[in-house]
Amino acid sequence: MWGEKMRLGITQMEIAAGDVKKNLKQGIELIEKAKEQACDLILLPEVWTTGFLFKKLKELSKTTPDILDKLKELSNNITICGSYVVDDKNSDKKVFNKFFAINGGEIVFEYTKAMLFGVTGEDRYFSSGDINQNNTFVINNITFGVSVCYELRFPEFFRKAAFEGALVHLHSAVWPISRLEHWQILTKARSIENQVYFLCSNGTGISGKWELAGHSTIYSPWGEQLCSLNMDTNISFIDIDLNIIEQARESLPSLYDSIKYFK
């Protein structure tokens, strides 16, 4: 039986494409709100400081080191998670989309988005991460899985994390409202099939040329919607009970059966 308990939060915000100062101010306000609510971990959307202003991503990536330093200063009593545009020094035009977990003044985990959304041209501006890279990390003896945006459509990423012991899965995204139904169905499905607490943080409003879907949500291991931010800029949080994961997996052992036959 797992005994650890944590208060976990999601954020949702309008991501102004290319306006780092505005985005950072808004994001820090949400982080501070999470700290006031004694959240142990807070999840922010994909590339929340810059958005997807493709032709300026190389330039915008230069702001990320200072931003990470600022977030390290804020991370003494909280783990801050989300993704950022990071310069690919081996390319004259490409960058990485990197997910960082920041805790206690340090980057304790990083993951590079592997699946790039070619429909919008991500593959022309981003270098992809290794498909076999580790996508789990441990905080407070709890294993977290990680994925970013388009990877939601690939259940292999989530199964891989579950096979490595993930009890909670964190998913950062900039997902359009035109595919809101897919967002709602797939996020719920990932929680059910892997029997994890599933946290997903998305942007809201207009970001560049895209209207975003919002609906950042936390699901239980049974796929129950525990909270949703709908279209609001705000935070929401829950106190997770890991015993519920054990109960779900014992009473309906689909994950255990998958581990038995497919791991």
Strand order in the sheet with 225-228: 136-139, 142-148, 168-172, 197-201, 217-219, 225-228
Q: Which of 46, 110, 122, 151 is catalytic?
A: 46
Task: State how far the Cα of 255 lies from the Cα of 79, in Å rounded to an integer.
Answer: 28
- Is the Cβ–Cβ distance between 133 and 114 less than 8 Å? yes
Q: Which of 39, 81, 98, 113 is catalytic?
A: 113
Task: State how far the Cα of 203 lies from the Cα of 122, in Å rounded to an integer.
Answer: 17
CA nearest 36: which of 71, 63, 7? Answer: 7
End-to-end CA, the chain: 22
CA distances from 128 to 51, 59, 88, 134 (A): 17, 18, 10, 14
46 given a catalytic annotation: yes
CA nearest 229: which of 206, 202, 256? Answer: 202
22 given a catalytic annotation: no
Tokens of 31: 């982080």
Tokens of 133: 């890279």
Q: Residue 26, CB half-sphere, CA atoms under 13 Å: how many?
A: 22
Q: Which of 81, 110, 122, 149 is catalytic?
A: 149
Give catalytic residue positions: 46, 113, 149
